C-alpha cells in the first residue's frame, strides 16, 4: 500500500492511538520522533496549517489530525476493520470520538492543571463525562463488542495516561465502584 511515515512524539496520546492502530493492522511504517519544543522542518512543511502531530505521509502525501488519520488507515488497510459497517453505528462511533477529543480530554486536563474551586468544578465535569463513556462500554469487552475497534483506540489514553494524571494531579476520577465497565 505504499510507503508510510508517522511524524509523532511518544508523549502524546493522539500519537499513541495512531501507533496502536498501525500495530493492530500490521502496517509497516517509518517513525520519525518529533521534539515537542523544536518542531522539524519536515513537520512544518507537511502540516503547515496546524503544525501539530501526529502527521502521516503516505506515498508522500501528508495527512494530519489523529481521528482523520485513524479513518484513513482504516479505509486504506481494510483488513481488521475498526469502524462499524452499519452507517448509524459508524456515526455514533464518530460522535463519541468527537466527545472524547473535544470534551472529555479537555475536562480531564483542566482537572489536572487547576487548583481550588476551578479544579473541583473540572473534576465534577470529567466524572460526569466518564459516566457517559462507562455506559457506552457497559456489558462489553470492547466498545464495539468483543474485539478492539475505533473507539477503543480513541479512548486508549484513559488507560495510557489517566492513572498518571490522577496521581500527579492529586485527584481521583476513575474508581472501580463508579465506573465498573471502564475497569474491566
Domains of the chain, earliest start first = 4-76 (3.40.30.10), 87-183 (1.20.1050.10)
Place of cell 481488521: 80
Confidence of residue 184 (pLDDT cuts 50, 70, 90): low
Per-residue DSSP letter, 8: E
Local confidence band at 80 (pLDDT 50, 70, 90 cut-offs):
very high
The pTM score is 0.88
Q: Is the pLDDT of residue 18 over 70?
A: yes
Q: Is the pLDDT of residue 160 over 70?
A: no
Question: Each residue of 128-164: b (16+ CB within 10 Å) or e?
Answer: ebbeebbebbeeeeebbeeebbbbbbbbbbbeebbee
pLDDT of 161 reads: 74
Amino acid at each position: 500500500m505504499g510507503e508510510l511515515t508517522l511524524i509523532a512524539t511518544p508523549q502524546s496520546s493522539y500519537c499513541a492511538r495512531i501507533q496502536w492502530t498501525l500495530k493492530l493492522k500490521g502496517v509497516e511504517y517509518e517513525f520519525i520522533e518529533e521534539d515537542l519544543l523544536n518542531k522539524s522542518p519536515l513537520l512544518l512543511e507537511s502540516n503547515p496549517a496546524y503544525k501539530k502531530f501526529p502527521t502521516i505521509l503516505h506515498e508522500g502525501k501528508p495527512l494530519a489530525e489523529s481521528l482523520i488519520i485513524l479513518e484513513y488507515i482504516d479505509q486504506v488497510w481494510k483488513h481488521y476493520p475498526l469502524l462499524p459497517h452499519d452507517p448509524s453505528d459508524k456515526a455514533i462511533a464518530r460522535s463519541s470520538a468527537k466527545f472524547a477529543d473535544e470534551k472529555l480530554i479537555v475536562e480531564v486536563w483542566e482537572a489536572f492543571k487547576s487548583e481550588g474551586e476551578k479544579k473541583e468544578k473540572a473534576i465534577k465535569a470529567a466524572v460526569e463525562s466518564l459516566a457517559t463513556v462507562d455506559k457506552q462500554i457497559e456489558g462489553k469487552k470492547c466498545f464495539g463488542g468483543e474485539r478492539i475497534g475505533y473507539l477503543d483506540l480513541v479512548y486508549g489514553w484513559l488507560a495510557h495516561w489517566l492513572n498518571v494524571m490522577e496521581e500527579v494531579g492529586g485527584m481521583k476520577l476513575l474508581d472501580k465502584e463508579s465506573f465498573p465497565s471502564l475497569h474491566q
